[in-house]
């Protein structure tokens, strides 16, 4: 499971995550393969998303764009999110009552989250067994799993006694 799409793998190879630039031409051709264009707004959004630290929601991303002086609109941010998801640039981190949070895809592999109900801290974890188990469940139910969200809510070490 995890990120799954072939496109994801290409993106991962194309992007150098230490702060280096993305190879524009290759990026462009991948988008082209999907009938998409690498426009200014899309570039700005991709750059901003890759510069985000930790979890962020669409509004955070928009704010960050404004800070950098980009003209990209809120609508474009929302419109780009499915693209960024499918391209493997970002992934869903957690869904709150308010909105969905995302995080950039880095060299880290897929992971799930423990979220503290008191202080809001999130602890990332990855369990291969859990991933396999989910694949099994999907098979059993004749379901083609694409991705998943597992959020375990509770209390972290610091908050458990309070």
Residues of span 80-99 touching a copy of itself by CB under 8 A = 95-97, 99
Q: Write down the least CB distance from residue 132 to DNA, Å.
A: 31
Tokens 């809510």, located at residue: 153
Q: How far apart are the first and last CA of the chain?
A: 37
Q: Write down the least CB distance from residue 141 to DNA, Å.
A: 27
Nearer to a copy of itself, 32 or 99 (CB): 99
Nearer to a copy of itself, 50 or 155 (CB): 155
Distance CA 111, CA 149 (A): 9
> By C-alpha distance, which of 38, 154, 145, 45 is closest to 102?
45
Distance CA 45, CA 62 (A): 8
The one of a copy of itself, DNA, none whose footprint includes residue 15, by CB under 5 to 8 A per kind, is none
Q: Rg (Cα) of the chain, in Å, rounded? A: 17
> Applying CB under 7 A, which residues contact DNA?
28, 31-32, 35-42, 57-59, 70-76, 78-80, 97-100
What track of x and - describes contact with a copy of itself for positions 31 through 50 (by CB under 8 A)? --------------------
Nearer to DNA, 96 or 106 (CB): 96
Give the distance between the most distant pair of CA atoms in the chain: 54
Residue 137 in the binding site for a copy of itself (CB under 8 A): yes
Q: Write down the least CB distance from residue 62 to DNA, Å.
A: 9
- Strand stretches in 30-107, DSSP E: 90-95, 100-104
Distance CA 85, CA 87 (A): 5
Q: Write down the least CB distance from residue 116 to a copy of itself, Å.
A: 8
Residue 133 in the binding site for a copy of itself (CB under 8 A): yes
């Amino acid at each position: 499971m995890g990120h799954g799409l072939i496109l994801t793998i290409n993106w991962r190879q194309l992007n150098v995550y230490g702060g280096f630039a993305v190879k524009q031409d290759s990026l462009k051709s991948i988008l082209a393969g999907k009938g998409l264009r690498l426009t200014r707004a899309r570039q700005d959004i991709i750059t901003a998303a890759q510069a985000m630290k930790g979890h962020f929601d669409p509004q955070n991303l928009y704010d960050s764009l404004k800070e950098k002086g980009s003209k990209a609109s809120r609508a474009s941010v929302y419109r780009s999110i499915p693209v960024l998801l499918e391209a493997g640039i970002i992934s869903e981190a957690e869904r709150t009552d308010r909105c969905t949070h995302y995080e950039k895809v880095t060299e880290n592999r897929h992971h799930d989250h423990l979220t503290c109900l008191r202080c809001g801290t999130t602890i990332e974890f990855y369990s291969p067994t859990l991933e396999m188990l989910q694949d099994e469940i999907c098979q059993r139910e004749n379901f083609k799993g694409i991705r998943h969200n597992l959020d375990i809510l509770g209390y972290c070490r610091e908050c458990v006694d309070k």
